[in-house]
């Protein structure tokens, strides 16, 4: 009897890049990829934060100060480097408020980072991969709010639904080049970005009622999914989403 061989979750010899990697989910993703053997480039706007994170992770990882809203610099960044095999497209923001309070500046702030920047980061990364004939995996950090709606989340939901749609189209465009594209869609994860929300006890209680497993997410809950989607273990997955929501969207 010839038994099948379990696909490897290792990423030795792979070059990875994580945007918004200075803290929270981005930092956790970078650590997970490095632990699996990848050489990771951490990208963020704050140099001190990103340099400290890269030094702590080690294993050949390095930090780069880059504002992903500056699309000319984004294109130059990818043009100046060998192709990456793994992208974690993580930089994002949120401005929760009722839809009637949203002004144009709020709209632009959320969509410019969560949609426009995410699109062109993925494009620049994919173009470089295609030019070098490098296969790999694009991983976009979406949200459960890209699959449902939520009060005071019109901007965020819209941006993440857009990401989910872009991801599916990316997967179709890139499949013939051996490049996969998927999203990870977490529930509320305790990070510096979400911490102020949970100071409101009513809000926190309402969130916990929706998360059927009865707890807020931790960055560790996302790390395994990042490695899985980056590795050969997910070789047949593209154009889909891994929803890590404790049962929120099951209802």
Catalytic hit among 116, 156, 201, 204: 156
Report how far residue 218's alpha carbon sits from residue 202's, in angstroms, rounded to the nearest whole number. Answer: 20
Of 116, 160, 201, 212, which is the active-site residue? 160
CA–CA distance, 131 with 82 (Å, rounded to integer) = 10
Beta strands in 124-177 (DSSP E): 136-141
Q: What's the Cα-to-Cα distance from 69 to each of 39, 62, 72, rounded to whole Å?
A: 24, 20, 9
Q: What is the residue-wise DSSP string for 34-98?
A: HHTT-EEEEEES-HHHHHHHHHHH-TT-EEEE--TT-HHHHHHHHHTSPPPSEEEE-------B-
Phi-psi region of 31 (alpha: psi -120 to 50; beta: other; left: phi over 0): alpha
Catalytic residue list contains 5: no
- Residue 47: name the closest of 37, 62, 26 by CA: 62
**Widest distance between CA atoms in the chain:** 65
Phi, psi of 176 (to 5 degrees): -70, -15
- Residues marked active site are found at 156, 160
């Amino acid at each position: 009897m010839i038994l099948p061989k379990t696909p490897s979750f290792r990423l030795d010899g792979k070059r990875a890049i994580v945007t918004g990697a200075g803290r929270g989910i981005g930092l956790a993703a970078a650590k997970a990829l490095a632990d699996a053997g990848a050489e990771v480039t951490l990208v963020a706007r704050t140099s001190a934060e990103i340099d400290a994170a890269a030094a702590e992770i080690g294993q050949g990882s390095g930090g780069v100060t880059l504002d992903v809203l500056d699309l000319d610099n984004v294109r130059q960044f990818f043009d100046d480097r060998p192709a990456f095999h793994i992208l974690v497209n993580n930089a994002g923001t949120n401005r929760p408020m009722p839809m009637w309070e949203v002004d144009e500046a709020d709209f632009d702030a959320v969509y410019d980072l969560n949609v426009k920047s995410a699109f062109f980061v993925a494009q620049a990364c994919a173009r470089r991969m295609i030019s070098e004939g490098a296969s790999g995996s694009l991983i976009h950090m979406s949200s459960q709010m890209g699959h449902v709606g939520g009060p005071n989340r019109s901007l965020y939901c819209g941006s993440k639904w857009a990401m989910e749609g872009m991801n599916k189209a990316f997967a179709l465009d890139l499949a013939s080049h051996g490049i996969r594209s998927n999203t990870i869609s977490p529930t509320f994860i305790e990070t510096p970005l979400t911490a102020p929300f949970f100071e409101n006890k009513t809000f926190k209680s309402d969130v916990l009622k929706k998360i059927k497993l009865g707890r807020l997410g931790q960055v560790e809950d996302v790390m395994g999914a990042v490695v899985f989607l980056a590795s050969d273990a997910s070789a047949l997955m593209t154009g889909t989403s891994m929803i890590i929501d404790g049962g929120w969207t099951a209802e």
